[in-house]
């Protein structure tokens, strides 16, 4: 039981409480020391360490250290340290509490030996990460954070339902590889939702760019990668994940090409890169497991670096949209350099971290005779370099104005000087990316299985150099097709951001006064109208006042039908309001959600 004090979560949670109560200056120390202590705890854990404790009727394994949890524990503690350093100048008490709890909960997921502990940390992680988004304290971040929370609460409930079904079927709570079945399917959906797999991915690109500059660095590291860990633990070799992972990689990279907001562009690349890892989980061979782990490790480092680089631009200029940036290269040389290290790492340029991790996955697909997977993943790598290595830096630092003037005197944009802490964090991360690329054995020594892959050979390097060179030439050829213009791309978050509003407008527009001339034939006609409201969303909404002049008598005649009553209820639920919905509506919606949860719970217990 004393070993519980060595749990890497403990220093993070103590730090999280401390930063909330101590003065800012002391908090600066705590936020650095807490991840350091967690890193020390991770390093001191020996393989096979296991701490169990009784809870109700079950024996829970709250700490399980083995070869798979170690690389994730190391990188989670490491990136928490780096991102906390990056945020030294910008983060305040409440935000620091949120990020430390978030990072700690992600480590709790990694070291959870049973499904109940996993679920508890999973939910803490979801809630803490919501607070990381809310810490931006703008209305936009508030709304994005709430949408994020709803999606993740739904995912968490699927996980809980899956765990309960699993418990009732097997009588065991151990977190091991799952047998196919209802429980495994529910848990798998919860995991892939958290990994950001289309069509359950929109929360990621919706919420991550709305956090603070340092908050986004934290967000990019933990949620998706702890989902990758959970998939590696529970579903290695699930064939469906190969197809889903490849689709994910393609989806992310294509939407990234269209994106204008540079932090959102990088969020799409998280989806794409996690697609590589999910594909590797699906392949499931020893080499693929190593590849997924190594790529998760390297991905956290270079994606953190990329987001720190564009975060530095946002911090210095207040701008994150490509169409209002450009002409900064001469005045933000350091940020540009560090960003480019991240960009060539994610593009798997030889001597940088992506080359020694991503190529393991491609090679594992090749060894498993999945030729089409190899080709698709290589094309996705092309797209990664195209948008993170060419388009984004071109638009952000150069643009039509070129590298810009050497001093801010008379320049269109006035970048503020960056704090030293940001430069230090970026420099350290850039150094780590280079180090892992030059000495891959450092990375391979951490992997769960012995790595037999040899990244550097003349053929591999030559092929990669050719791919990247011709990506650059292709970009040069078609650069006119890639202008930075202000726009948004529709994605599936439209379903919960715009669709309810459209329905509300339609219902409000027709309101209680529709079908005035034919009350007798009202029922079938109204049923048809209802179906139309639900499906036909392209019709331009008319103002709610358009129909209100129709005689009130018709309304009274109609009010006797059940459909009219339900229509009034709908009108009230979807009524356009200033601020939150009224109290009865909130209660009604809450009751529906609670009822649905109860049905889910009861049905899962009966299984």
Site residues for another protein, window 188-247 (CB under 8 A)? 209, 212-213
Please select the residue that binds another protein; options are 29, 240, 416, 569, rule is CB under 8 A: 416
CA angle 575, 576, 582 (to 5 degrees): 65
Indicate whether 24 belongs to the interface with another protein (CB under 8 A).
Answer: no
Q: How far is the CB of 383 from another protein (least distance, A)?
A: 5
Helix (H) or strand (E) holding 52: strand 50-55
Q: Which two tokens stand for residue 81?
A: 């340290």
Q: How far is the CB of 326 from another protein (least distance, A)?
A: 13
Please select the residue that binds another protein; options are 452, 462, 599, 605, rule is CB under 8 A: 462
Indicate whether 319 belongs to the interface with another protein (CB under 8 A).
Answer: yes
Indicate whether 503 belongs to the interface with another protein (CB under 8 A).
Answer: no
The size of the interface with another protein (CB under 8 A), counted in residues, is: 73
Please select the residue that binds another protein; options are 4, 5, 55, 140, rule is CB under 8 A: 140
Judged by CB under 8 A, the chain residues 255 through 314 that form the site for another protein are 255, 257-258, 261, 314
- Secondary structure, 3-state, 123-175: HHHHHHHHHHHHCCCCHHHHHHHHHHHHHHHHHHHHHHHHHHHHHHHHCCCEC
Task: Report the C-alpha gap between 214 and 207 in whole angstroms.
Answer: 14
Considering beta carbons, is residue 279 or 320 the nearer one to another protein? 320
ω into residue 199 within 30 of 0, thus cis?
yes
Contact between 336 and 399 under an 8 Å Cβ cutoff? The reply is no
Considering beta carbons, is residue 14 or 482 the nearer one to another protein? 482
Which among 204, 221, 93, 192 is positioned nearest to 491, based on CA atoms? 204
Indicate whether 334 belongs to the interface with another protein (CB under 8 A).
Answer: no
- Neighbouring C-beta atoms of residue 583, cutoff 10 Å: 8
Contact between 82 and 429 under an 8 Å Cβ cutoff? The reply is yes
Indicate whether 575 belongs to the interface with another protein (CB under 8 A).
Answer: no
Q: How far is the CB of 604 from another protein (least distance, A)?
A: 36
Task: Report the C-alpha gap between 70 and 33 in whole angstroms.
Answer: 20
Q: How far is the CB of 102 from another protein (least distance, A)?
A: 19
Considering beta carbons, is residue 180 or 500 the nearer one to another protein? 500
- Secondary structure, 3-state, 491-547: CCCHHHHCHHHHHHHHHHHHHHHCCCCCCCCHHHHHHHHHHHHHHCCCCCCCCCCCC
Task: Report the C-alpha gap between 63 and 47 in whole angstroms.
Answer: 11
3-state secondary structure of 412: coil
Q: Which two tokens stand for residue 193?
A: 């939702």
Indicate whether 482 belongs to the interface with another protein (CB under 8 A).
Answer: yes
Judged by CB under 8 A, the chain residues 369 through 388 that form the site for another protein are 375, 378-379, 382-383, 386
Considering beta carbons, is residue 499 or 552 the nearer one to another protein? 499
Which among 39, 8, 66, 68 is positioned nearest to 293, based on CA atoms? 68
x/- letters, 45..74, toward another protein (CB under 8 A): ------------------------------
Helix (H) or strand (E) holding 61: strand 58-64
3-state secondary structure of 284: coil
Considering beta carbons, is residue 61 or 261 the nearer one to another protein? 261
Please select the residue that binds another protein; options are 359, 363, 491, 558, rule is CB under 8 A: 491
Q: Give the dihedral of Cα atoms 354, 355, 358, 362; nearest 10 deg.
A: 160
Please select the residue that binds another protein; options are 180, 318, 431, 584, rule is CB under 8 A: 318
Considering beta carbons, is residue 247 or 467 the nearer one to another protein? 467
x/- letters, 79..98, toward another protein (CB under 8 A): ----------xx--------
* Torsion-angle region of 469 (φ positive above 0: left; ψ -120 to 50: alpha; else: beta): alpha
Indicate whether 351 belongs to the interface with another protein (CB under 8 A).
Answer: no
Considering beta carbons, is residue 69 or 387 the nearer one to another protein? 387
Considering beta carbons, is residue 168 or 466 the nearer one to another protein? 466
Indicate whether 565 belongs to the interface with another protein (CB under 8 A).
Answer: no
Considering beta carbons, is residue 49 or 489 the nearer one to another protein? 489
Q: How far is the CB of 456 from another protein (least distance, A)?
A: 14
Please select the residue that binds another protein; options are 23, 476, 580, 583, rule is CB under 8 A: 476
Indicate whether 487 belongs to the interface with another protein (CB under 8 A).
Answer: yes
Task: Report the C-alpha gap between 387 and 393 in whole angstroms.
Answer: 9
Helix (H) or strand (E) holding 63: strand 58-64
Considering beta carbons, is residue 20 or 497 the nearer one to another protein? 497
Contact between 270 and 216 under an 8 Å Cβ cutoff? The reply is no
Considering beta carbons, is residue 445 or 490 the nearer one to another protein? 490
Indicate whether 488 belongs to the interface with another protein (CB under 8 A).
Answer: yes
Q: How far is the CB of 52 from another protein (least distance, A)?
A: 43
Residue range at the interface with another protein (CB under 8 A); choices 174-182, 277-285, 472-480, 522-530? 472-480
Q: How far is the CB of 168 from another protein (least distance, A)?
A: 42
């Amino acid at each position: 039981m004393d070993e519980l004090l060595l749990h890497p979560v403990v220093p993070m949670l103590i730090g999280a409480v401390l930063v909330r109560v101590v003065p800012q200056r002391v908090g600066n120390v705590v936020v650095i020391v807490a991840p350091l202590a967690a890193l020390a705890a991770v390093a001191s854990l020996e393989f096979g360490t296991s701490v169990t404790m009784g809870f109700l009727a079950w024996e829970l394994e709250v700490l399980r250290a083995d070869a798979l949890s170690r690389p994730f524990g190391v990188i989670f503690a490491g990136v928490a340290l780096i991102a906390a350093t990056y945020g030294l100048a910008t983060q305040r008490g409440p935000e620091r509490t949120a990020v430390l709890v978030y990072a700690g909960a992600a480590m709790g997921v990694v070291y959870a030996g049973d499904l109940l502990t996993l679920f508890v940390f999973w939910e803490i992680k979801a809630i803490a990460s919501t607070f990381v988004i809310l810490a931006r304290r703008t209305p936009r971040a508030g709304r994005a954070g709430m949408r994020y929370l709803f999606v993740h609460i739904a995912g968490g409930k699927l996980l809980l339902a899956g765990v309960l079904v699993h418990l009732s079927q097997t009588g065991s709570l151990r977190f091991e590889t799952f047998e196919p079945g209802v429980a495994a399917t529910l848990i798998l959906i919860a995991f892939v939702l958290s990994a950001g797999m289309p069509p359950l991915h929109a929360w990621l690109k919706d919420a991550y760019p709305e956090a603070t500059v340092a908050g986004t660095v934290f967000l990019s590291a933990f949620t998706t990668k702890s989902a990758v860990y959970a998939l590696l633990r529970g579903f290695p070799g699930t064939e469906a994940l190969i197809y889903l992972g490849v689709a994910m990689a393609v989806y992310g990279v294509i939407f990234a090409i269209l994106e204008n907001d540079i932090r959102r562009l990088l969020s799409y690349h998280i989806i794409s890169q996690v697609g590589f890892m999910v594909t590797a989980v699906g392949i499931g061979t020893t080499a693929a497991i190593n590849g997924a782990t190594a790529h998760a490790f390297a991905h956290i480092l270079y994606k953190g670096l990329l987001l720190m680089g564009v975060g530095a631009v946002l911090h210095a200029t207040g701008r994150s949209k490509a169409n209002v940036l450009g002409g900064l290269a001469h005045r933000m040389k350091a940020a540009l350099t560090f960003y480019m290290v991240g960009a060539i790492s994610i593009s798997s340029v030889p001597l940088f971290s992506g080359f020694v991790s991503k190529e393991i996955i491609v090679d594992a697909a090749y060894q498993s005779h999945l030729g089409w997977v190899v080709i698709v993943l290589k094309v996705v790598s092309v797209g990664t370099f195209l948008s993170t290595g060419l388009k984004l830096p071109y638009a952000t630092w150069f643009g039509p104005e070129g590298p810009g003037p050497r001093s801010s005197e008379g320049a269109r944009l006035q970048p503020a000087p960056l704090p030293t802490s940001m430069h230090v964090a970026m420099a350290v991360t850039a150094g780590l990316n280079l180090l892992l690329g030059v000495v891959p054995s450092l990375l391979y020594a951490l992997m769960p299985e012995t790595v037999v892959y040899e990244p550097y050979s003349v053929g591999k390097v030559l092929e990669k150099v050719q791919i990247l060179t011709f990506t650059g030439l292709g970009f040069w050829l078609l650069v006119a097709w890639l202008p930075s213009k202000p726009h948004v791309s529709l994605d599936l978050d439209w379903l919960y951001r715009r669709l309810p509003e459209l329905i509300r407008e339609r219902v409000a527009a027709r309101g209680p006064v529709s079908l005035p001339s034919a009350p007798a034939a009202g029922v079938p006609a109204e049923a048809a109208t209802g179906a139309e409201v639900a499906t036909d969303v392209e019709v331009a909404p008319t103002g709610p006042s358009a129909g209100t002049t129709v005689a009130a008598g018709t309304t009274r005649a109609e009010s006797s039908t059940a459909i009219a009553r339900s229509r009034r209820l709908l009108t009230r639920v979807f009524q356009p309001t200033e601020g939150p919905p009224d109290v009865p509506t909130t209660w009604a919606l809450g009751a529906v959600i609670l009822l649905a949860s109860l049905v889910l719970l009861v049905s899962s217990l009966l299984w």
